[in-house]
Amino acid sequence: MASTGSVSAWDEALLVAMIQYPVPVIKGPEDIQVQVDQICKALASTKAGYPDLDLIVFPEYSTQGLNTSIWTYDEMLLTIDSPEIDQFKQACIDNDVWGVFSLMEKNEDPLKPPYNTAIVINSDGEIALHYRKLQPWVPIEPWSPGNYGMPVCDGPKGSKLAVCICHDGMFPELAREAAYKGANVYIRISGYSTQVNDQWIWTNRTNAWQNLMYTISVNLAGYDGVFYYFGEGTVCNYDGNVIQQGHRNPWEIVTAELFPRLVDKARENWALENNIFNLGCRAYVGKPGGSTENYLTWVKDLAEGNYKLPWDDKIKVRDGWKYYPDGVKLGPMPK
Protein backbone atom coordinates (compact mmCIF):
# COMPACT_ATOMS: atom_id res chain seq x y z
CA MET A 1 0.00 0.00 0.00
CA ALA A 2 1.34 3.43 -0.89
CA SER A 3 2.24 5.87 1.84
CA THR A 4 -0.44 8.33 2.92
CA GLY A 5 2.20 10.63 4.38
CA SER A 6 3.92 13.00 2.02
CA VAL A 7 6.98 15.20 2.26
CA SER A 8 4.68 18.00 3.38
CA ALA A 9 1.68 18.12 5.69
CA TRP A 10 -1.31 20.32 6.43
CA ASP A 11 -0.96 22.79 9.28
CA GLU A 12 -3.16 20.68 11.57
CA ALA A 13 -1.93 17.28 10.36
CA LEU A 14 0.40 15.10 12.42
CA LEU A 15 2.91 13.58 10.01
CA VAL A 16 4.35 10.37 11.50
CA ALA A 17 7.10 8.05 10.29
CA MET A 18 7.83 4.58 11.64
CA ILE A 19 11.14 2.92 10.91
CA GLN A 20 11.10 -0.85 10.36
CA TYR A 21 14.51 -1.04 11.98
CA PRO A 22 16.62 -4.11 11.11
CA VAL A 23 16.87 -6.37 14.14
CA PRO A 24 20.25 -5.63 15.75
CA VAL A 25 22.60 -8.45 16.72
CA ILE A 26 24.18 -7.32 19.99
CA LYS A 27 27.06 -9.22 21.59
CA GLY A 28 28.45 -6.63 23.97
CA PRO A 29 28.20 -3.01 25.18
CA GLU A 30 30.23 -1.69 22.25
CA ASP A 31 27.47 -2.80 19.87
CA ILE A 32 24.94 -0.56 21.62
CA GLN A 33 26.80 2.60 20.58
CA VAL A 34 26.75 1.38 16.99
CA GLN A 35 22.96 1.18 17.13
CA VAL A 36 22.59 4.57 18.82
CA ASP A 37 24.68 6.20 16.09
CA GLN A 38 22.69 4.43 13.40
CA ILE A 39 19.34 5.39 14.92
CA CYS A 40 20.36 9.05 15.10
CA LYS A 41 21.56 8.94 11.50
CA ALA A 42 18.27 7.35 10.40
CA LEU A 43 16.32 10.02 12.28
CA ALA A 44 18.22 12.82 10.51
CA SER A 45 17.90 11.18 7.09
CA THR A 46 14.18 10.60 7.51
CA LYS A 47 13.56 14.18 8.60
CA ALA A 48 15.56 15.40 5.60
CA GLY A 49 13.35 13.32 3.31
CA TYR A 50 10.12 14.40 5.04
CA PRO A 51 10.71 18.04 6.04
CA ASP A 52 7.31 18.44 7.73
CA LEU A 53 7.73 15.29 9.82
CA ASP A 54 6.41 15.69 13.38
CA LEU A 55 7.03 12.30 14.98
CA ILE A 56 9.42 9.41 14.24
CA VAL A 57 9.10 6.01 15.94
CA PHE A 58 11.72 3.26 16.40
CA PRO A 59 10.79 -0.29 17.46
CA GLU A 60 11.33 -2.10 20.72
CA TYR A 61 14.87 -3.50 21.15
CA SER A 62 16.27 -1.28 18.40
CA THR A 63 18.83 0.18 20.82
CA GLN A 64 20.04 -2.84 22.79
CA GLY A 65 18.86 -5.86 20.81
CA LEU A 66 17.29 -9.15 21.88
CA ASN A 67 20.23 -11.27 23.02
CA THR A 68 18.56 -13.17 25.88
CA SER A 69 21.86 -14.46 27.23
CA ILE A 70 23.07 -10.95 28.10
CA TRP A 71 19.79 -9.05 28.51
CA THR A 72 20.11 -8.23 32.18
CA TYR A 73 23.81 -7.67 32.75
CA ASP A 74 24.69 -4.20 34.04
CA GLU A 75 26.92 -3.36 31.08
CA MET A 76 24.03 -3.90 28.68
CA LEU A 77 21.63 -1.57 30.48
CA LEU A 78 20.93 2.16 30.21
CA THR A 79 19.16 4.78 32.28
CA ILE A 80 17.32 7.85 31.03
CA ASP A 81 20.39 9.84 32.08
CA SER A 82 22.83 7.76 30.03
CA PRO A 83 24.90 9.55 27.36
CA GLU A 84 23.21 7.42 24.71
CA ILE A 85 19.87 8.99 25.66
CA ASP A 86 21.48 12.42 25.53
CA GLN A 87 22.45 11.57 21.97
CA PHE A 88 18.80 10.83 21.13
CA LYS A 89 17.79 14.13 22.73
CA GLN A 90 20.30 16.06 20.65
CA ALA A 91 19.13 14.36 17.47
CA CYS A 92 15.55 15.49 18.15
CA ILE A 93 16.75 19.07 18.78
CA ASP A 94 18.96 19.16 15.70
CA ASN A 95 16.19 17.86 13.46
CA ASP A 96 13.22 19.60 15.10
CA VAL A 97 11.25 16.39 15.48
CA TRP A 98 9.68 14.27 18.23
CA GLY A 99 11.04 10.74 18.66
CA VAL A 100 10.04 7.48 20.31
CA PHE A 101 12.93 5.30 21.46
CA SER A 102 13.43 1.96 23.21
CA LEU A 103 15.77 1.16 26.08
CA MET A 104 16.36 -1.61 28.57
CA GLU A 105 16.44 0.48 31.75
CA LYS A 106 18.41 -0.31 34.88
CA ASN A 107 16.19 -0.81 37.92
CA GLU A 108 16.58 1.60 40.82
CA ASP A 109 16.96 -1.49 43.00
CA PRO A 110 20.14 -3.28 41.83
CA LEU A 111 18.79 -6.60 43.12
CA LYS A 112 15.76 -6.48 40.82
CA PRO A 113 15.52 -7.05 37.07
CA PRO A 114 15.55 -4.05 34.71
CA TYR A 115 12.61 -2.45 32.97
CA ASN A 116 11.70 -2.58 29.31
CA THR A 117 11.18 1.13 28.66
CA ALA A 118 9.99 3.53 25.99
CA ILE A 119 10.55 7.27 26.02
CA VAL A 120 9.06 10.08 23.97
CA ILE A 121 11.49 12.94 23.42
CA ASN A 122 10.10 16.24 22.16
CA SER A 123 11.70 18.56 19.63
CA ASP A 124 13.27 20.57 22.47
CA GLY A 125 15.16 17.50 23.61
CA GLU A 126 13.02 16.94 26.71
CA ILE A 127 11.58 13.62 27.83
CA ALA A 128 7.85 14.19 27.44
CA LEU A 129 6.84 10.65 28.39
CA HIS A 130 8.57 7.81 30.27
CA TYR A 131 6.86 4.43 30.08
CA ARG A 132 7.82 1.05 31.51
CA LYS A 133 6.33 -2.07 29.93
CA LEU A 134 3.37 -3.19 32.00
CA GLN A 135 3.02 -6.69 30.53
CA PRO A 136 6.45 -8.21 29.76
CA TRP A 137 6.20 -11.10 27.32
CA VAL A 138 5.92 -14.22 29.48
CA PRO A 139 7.41 -16.74 29.93
CA ILE A 140 10.51 -15.30 28.24
CA GLU A 141 11.18 -11.66 29.10
CA PRO A 142 12.89 -11.26 32.49
CA TRP A 143 11.78 -7.65 33.04
CA SER A 144 10.32 -6.12 36.17
CA PRO A 145 6.67 -5.20 35.63
CA GLY A 146 6.23 -1.52 34.83
CA ASN A 147 5.40 0.74 37.76
CA TYR A 148 4.52 4.00 35.98
CA GLY A 149 1.06 3.00 34.79
CA MET A 150 -0.01 4.29 31.37
CA PRO A 151 1.13 7.92 31.11
CA VAL A 152 -0.22 10.29 28.45
CA CYS A 153 1.50 13.44 27.22
CA ASP A 154 0.60 16.37 24.98
CA GLY A 155 2.23 15.94 21.57
CA PRO A 156 2.48 18.02 18.42
CA LYS A 157 -0.50 19.13 16.30
CA GLY A 158 -3.12 18.59 19.02
CA SER A 159 -2.11 15.00 19.63
CA LYS A 160 -2.17 13.33 23.02
CA LEU A 161 0.30 10.46 23.00
CA ALA A 162 0.56 7.18 24.86
CA VAL A 163 3.03 4.36 24.24
CA CYS A 164 2.75 0.64 24.81
CA ILE A 165 5.40 -1.98 24.15
CA CYS A 166 4.85 -5.13 22.10
CA HIS A 167 2.89 -7.63 24.21
CA ASP A 168 1.12 -4.73 25.97
CA GLY A 169 -0.87 -4.27 22.76
CA MET A 170 -2.52 -7.67 23.20
CA PHE A 171 -4.31 -6.37 26.29
CA PRO A 172 -7.39 -4.29 25.41
CA GLU A 173 -7.39 -3.02 28.98
CA LEU A 174 -4.16 -1.07 28.40
CA ALA A 175 -5.45 0.60 25.23
CA ARG A 176 -8.60 1.52 27.10
CA GLU A 177 -6.54 2.99 29.94
CA ALA A 178 -4.64 5.18 27.47
CA ALA A 179 -7.85 6.41 25.86
CA TYR A 180 -9.52 6.91 29.25
CA LYS A 181 -6.66 9.26 30.14
CA GLY A 182 -7.14 11.21 26.91
CA ALA A 183 -4.76 9.65 24.36
CA ASN A 184 -5.86 10.12 20.77
CA VAL A 185 -2.71 8.52 19.27
CA TYR A 186 -1.65 5.16 20.72
CA ILE A 187 1.90 4.14 19.78
CA ARG A 188 3.01 0.51 19.86
CA ILE A 189 6.66 -0.44 19.48
CA SER A 190 7.54 -4.11 19.28
CA GLY A 191 10.08 -6.83 18.57
CA TYR A 192 7.78 -9.69 17.59
CA SER A 193 8.83 -12.57 15.38
CA THR A 194 6.40 -14.00 12.85
CA GLN A 195 4.39 -16.26 15.18
CA VAL A 196 1.91 -13.50 16.00
CA ASN A 197 1.91 -11.51 12.77
CA ASP A 198 -1.87 -11.75 12.23
CA GLN A 199 -2.70 -11.05 15.86
CA TRP A 200 -0.49 -7.96 15.71
CA ILE A 201 -2.65 -6.48 12.97
CA TRP A 202 -5.97 -7.52 14.54
CA THR A 203 -5.14 -5.97 17.89
CA ASN A 204 -3.85 -2.76 16.33
CA ARG A 205 -7.23 -2.43 14.61
CA THR A 206 -9.39 -3.34 17.58
CA ASN A 207 -7.45 -1.07 19.94
CA ALA A 208 -8.19 1.79 17.54
CA TRP A 209 -11.88 1.03 17.01
CA GLN A 210 -12.85 0.21 20.58
CA ASN A 211 -11.33 3.46 21.83
CA LEU A 212 -11.83 5.85 18.91
CA MET A 213 -8.14 6.68 18.54
CA TYR A 214 -5.38 6.32 15.99
CA THR A 215 -2.97 3.46 16.54
CA ILE A 216 0.52 3.61 15.03
CA SER A 217 2.58 0.45 15.46
CA VAL A 218 6.00 -0.63 14.24
CA ASN A 219 7.98 -3.85 14.59
CA LEU A 220 11.60 -4.84 14.03
CA ALA A 221 12.33 -6.32 10.62
CA GLY A 222 14.73 -8.94 9.30
CA TYR A 223 16.53 -12.09 10.45
CA ASP A 224 18.85 -12.36 13.46
CA GLY A 225 20.04 -15.90 12.85
CA VAL A 226 17.22 -17.45 14.91
CA PHE A 227 13.94 -15.64 14.22
CA TYR A 228 12.47 -13.48 11.47
CA TYR A 229 10.88 -10.18 12.51
CA PHE A 230 8.03 -9.07 10.32
CA GLY A 231 8.20 -5.27 10.19
CA GLU A 232 4.72 -4.40 8.88
CA GLY A 233 4.32 -0.98 10.44
CA THR A 234 0.58 -0.40 10.76
CA VAL A 235 -1.42 2.81 11.00
CA CYS A 236 -5.08 2.43 11.92
CA ASN A 237 -7.79 5.03 11.73
CA TYR A 238 -10.03 5.67 14.73
CA ASP A 239 -12.77 3.66 12.96
CA GLY A 240 -10.51 0.58 12.96
CA ASN A 241 -9.64 0.65 9.27
CA VAL A 242 -6.01 0.34 8.20
CA ILE A 243 -4.70 3.57 6.70
CA GLN A 244 -1.23 2.25 5.99
CA GLN A 245 0.44 -1.14 6.15
CA GLY A 246 4.15 -1.69 5.74
CA HIS A 247 5.74 -4.76 4.24
CA ARG A 248 8.47 -7.02 5.65
CA ASN A 249 11.38 -4.91 4.48
CA PRO A 250 14.09 -3.82 6.92
CA TRP A 251 14.53 -0.05 6.78
CA GLU A 252 11.12 0.51 5.21
CA ILE A 253 9.70 3.86 6.35
CA VAL A 254 5.95 3.77 6.97
CA THR A 255 4.37 7.22 6.99
CA ALA A 256 0.90 8.62 7.48
CA GLU A 257 -0.82 11.96 7.95
CA LEU A 258 -3.11 11.97 10.98
CA PHE A 259 -5.68 14.47 12.22
CA PRO A 260 -6.01 14.24 16.02
CA ARG A 261 -8.80 16.83 15.99
CA LEU A 262 -11.01 14.37 14.11
CA VAL A 263 -10.56 11.82 16.89
CA ASP A 264 -11.62 14.44 19.41
CA LYS A 265 -14.70 15.34 17.35
CA ALA A 266 -15.69 11.69 16.89
CA ARG A 267 -15.50 11.18 20.63
CA GLU A 268 -17.65 14.24 21.19
CA ASN A 269 -20.29 13.59 18.53
CA TRP A 270 -20.63 9.88 17.76
CA ALA A 271 -23.27 7.82 19.58
CA LEU A 272 -23.57 4.15 18.62
CA GLU A 273 -19.83 3.93 17.93
CA ASN A 274 -18.77 5.73 21.13
CA ASN A 275 -17.78 2.55 22.91
CA ILE A 276 -15.50 4.13 25.49
CA PHE A 277 -18.25 6.53 26.60
CA ASN A 278 -21.08 3.99 26.48
CA LEU A 279 -19.19 1.62 28.78
CA GLY A 280 -19.68 3.97 31.71
CA CYS A 281 -23.31 5.01 31.12
CA ARG A 282 -25.11 1.88 29.98
CA ALA A 283 -28.56 2.12 28.44
CA TYR A 284 -28.89 5.89 28.66
CA VAL A 285 -31.96 5.70 26.40
CA GLY A 286 -33.92 3.50 28.78
CA LYS A 287 -32.39 5.05 31.89
CA PRO A 288 -31.69 8.79 31.64
CA GLY A 289 -28.03 9.38 32.39
CA GLY A 290 -27.32 5.70 32.02
CA SER A 291 -26.35 3.06 34.54
CA THR A 292 -22.98 3.85 36.07
CA GLU A 293 -22.34 1.12 38.63
CA ASN A 294 -19.55 -1.41 38.07
CA TYR A 295 -21.07 -4.61 36.70
CA LEU A 296 -17.79 -6.36 35.81
CA THR A 297 -16.61 -9.00 38.26
CA TRP A 298 -13.05 -9.02 36.97
CA VAL A 299 -12.71 -5.24 37.44
CA LYS A 300 -13.82 -5.54 41.07
CA ASP A 301 -11.57 -8.54 41.71
CA LEU A 302 -8.53 -6.93 40.08
CA ALA A 303 -9.02 -3.73 42.09
CA GLU A 304 -9.15 -5.77 45.29
CA GLY A 305 -6.15 -7.93 44.39
CA ASN A 306 -8.34 -11.03 44.02
CA TYR A 307 -8.13 -11.61 40.26
CA LYS A 308 -8.42 -15.37 39.68
CA LEU A 309 -9.72 -17.32 36.70
CA PRO A 310 -12.09 -20.28 37.11
CA TRP A 311 -9.40 -22.52 35.56
CA ASP A 312 -6.52 -21.00 37.51
CA ASP A 313 -5.53 -24.26 39.21
CA LYS A 314 -5.12 -25.94 35.81
CA ILE A 315 -2.70 -23.40 34.33
CA LYS A 316 0.66 -25.12 33.87
CA VAL A 317 3.04 -22.29 32.86
CA ARG A 318 3.29 -19.86 35.76
CA ASP A 319 6.95 -18.82 35.71
CA GLY A 320 10.04 -18.64 33.50
CA TRP A 321 12.16 -21.34 35.13
CA LYS A 322 12.10 -23.52 32.01
CA TYR A 323 13.97 -20.75 30.21
CA TYR A 324 16.02 -19.46 33.16
CA PRO A 325 16.63 -22.59 35.29
CA ASP A 326 19.37 -20.87 37.30
CA GLY A 327 17.44 -17.63 37.70
CA VAL A 328 17.75 -14.34 35.85
CA LYS A 329 21.38 -13.24 35.68
CA LEU A 330 22.01 -9.83 37.25
CA GLY A 331 25.19 -7.85 37.85
CA PRO A 332 28.41 -7.60 35.82
CA MET A 333 28.95 -9.83 32.80
CA PRO A 334 31.25 -12.81 33.41
CA LYS A 335 34.81 -12.37 32.22
Is the CB of residue 235 less than 8 Å from the CB of residue 244? Answer: yes
Nearest to 61 by CA among 21, 89, 33, 16: 21
Of the candidates 47, 60, 105, 160, the residue annotated as catalytic is 60
Range of the domain at 137: 14-273
- Residue 314: CB partners within 8 Å, gap ≥ 6? none
286 within domain boundaries: no
pLDDT of residue 2: 37
Band of pLDDT at residue 300, cut at 50, 70 and 90: very high
80 within domain boundaries: yes
Of the candidates 153, 166, 177, 232, the residue annotated as catalytic is 166
Tell me the pLDDT tens digit for each residue of 303-320. Answer: 999 999 999 999 999 999
Helix (H/G/I), strand (E/B), else coil: 90: helix
Most confidently modeled range among 11-15, 53-57, 67-71: 53-57
Tell me the pLDDT tens digit for each residue of 76-102. Answer: 999 999 999 999 999 999 999 999 999
Q: What CATH number does the domain containing 32 carry?
A: 3.60.110.10
333 within domain boundaries: no
Tell me the pLDDT tens digit for each residue of 219-276. Answer: 999 999 889 999 999 999 999 999 999 999 999 999 999 999 999 999 999 999 999 9
307 within domain boundaries: no
105 within domain boundaries: yes
Tell me the pLDDT tens digit for each residue of 19-31. Answer: 999 999 999 999 9
Number of domains in the chain: 1
140 within domain boundaries: yes
Q: How many CA atoms lie within 13 A of 151 on its CB side?
A: 17
329, burial (CB in 10 Å: exposed 0-12, middle 13-18, buried 19+): middle
40 within domain boundaries: yes
Residue 316 annotated among the catalytic residues of the structure: no
Nearest to 106 by CA among 72, 131, 134, 133: 72
Is the pLDDT at 168 greater than 50? The verdict is: yes
Is the pLDDT at 334 greater than 90? The verdict is: no
Residue 166 annotated among the catalytic residues of the structure: yes
Is the CB of residue 189 less than 8 Å from the CB of residue 165? Answer: yes
322 within domain boundaries: no
